[in-house]
Structure 1
């Protein structure tokens, strides 16, 4: 896979260029991520802020997570696509929500860790052989 790679929101107003592979890709099954993705889980690519360049206007929304940490979300004000999340206490790491399109990037954005699996809907079957943690279990950072 060759970097940089590019992606955009649904309307194209916000885009990014990522210069290196994600540090980690996580599938989160918590109820907040289910709301965000309207699916059983949400995919998050953890990347260094210094490895990504954004273009376009973004708006911000925030909430307090169960952990007590603030979770800030950046999104496109035109189409509403969530772009990334970050904790203001660790602004050097962002949790990218946009997945680049194309067969060559699929493996770079495949989840290597599944968290909050205890909140998985009963009708969803988790993949076999995954590294997974239930709610409250300490996943590696």
Structure 2
């Protein structure tokens, strides 16, 4: 299943070098703002079909945070569906400008998956690996020097 010898646990899951907390972001029109008190625990580019829809055909670059301490101002709309993994997902976006903001999964209620483009610092979106690579189109970029998974990786132990 792994396309690379690198493991998802190669870097410490609790710290990403060069990221200072708190981490903030928001939507294009400024109606929604959010923040996390801690640095992210992972960064991944996802090629599942749902993420391709969210990203206009490309992989969705996602930054994963612990949900504890999450703060959000402004109205957020949501779309509920079942992901390719079988998990119930809620994908949230700004109802004014349509910016995709974050997702929550029934399988991991302790974390939030934030769209990298919604973060104030675009450098935070540099992925550590790619997931759902089996769903990527032939032209899709997958960096073979990073950890890659054909489907949904097993979550790290708490």
Which category of TM-score, normalised to the shorter sequence, fits these structures? 0.7 to 0.9
Between the aligned partners of 2:23 and 2:64, the Cα distance in structure 1 is: 15
TM-score, reference length from structure 2: 0.76
Report the count of equivalent residues: 136
Match of 1:38 in 2: 56
Distance (whole Å) between structure 1 residues aligned to residue 106 and residue 70 of structure 2:
17
Equivalent-residue separation in structure 2 for 1:130 and 1:42 (angstroms): 16
Match of 1:29 among 36, 47, 52: 47
Counterpart position of 1:111: 127
Quick one: which of 12, 26, 30 aligns to 2:30?
Answer: 12
Judged with a 3 Å threshold, the aligned counterparts in structure 2 of structure 1 residues 130 and 89 are, in CA distance, closer, same or farther, namely closer
Deviations 1:26-79 (A, max 9, x none): 111111111110132001111111142111111121001233221111111111
- Kindly indicate whether the alpha-carbon contact (under 8 Å) linking 2:32 and 2:74 is maintained by their aligned counterparts in 1: yes
Higher deviation after alignment, 85-94 or 14-23: 85-94
State the SS of the aligned residue for 1:38.
Answer: coil
Q: Is contact 1:82–1:98 with CA below 8 Å preserved after alignment?
A: no
- Counterparts of 1:59-98 in structure 2, within 5 Å, are 59-88=77-106, 90-98=108-116
Q: For structure 1, which runs of at least 5 residues remain unmatched after alignment? A: none
Q: For the residues of structure 1 that align with 2:141 and 2:95, how far apart are their CA atoms?
A: 34
* Structure 1 residue 124 corresponds to structure 2 residue 146: no
Could you list the per-position Cα deviations for residues 95-131 of structure 1 after superposition, in whole angstroms to 9, with x for gaps in the alignment? 11244244xx61x432112111122221233224010
Q: What does residue 55 of structure 1 align with?
A: 73
RMSD: 1.9
Runs (4 or more) in structure 1 with deviation over 4 Å come to none
Unaligned residue ranges in structure 2 (runs of 5+) = 1-18
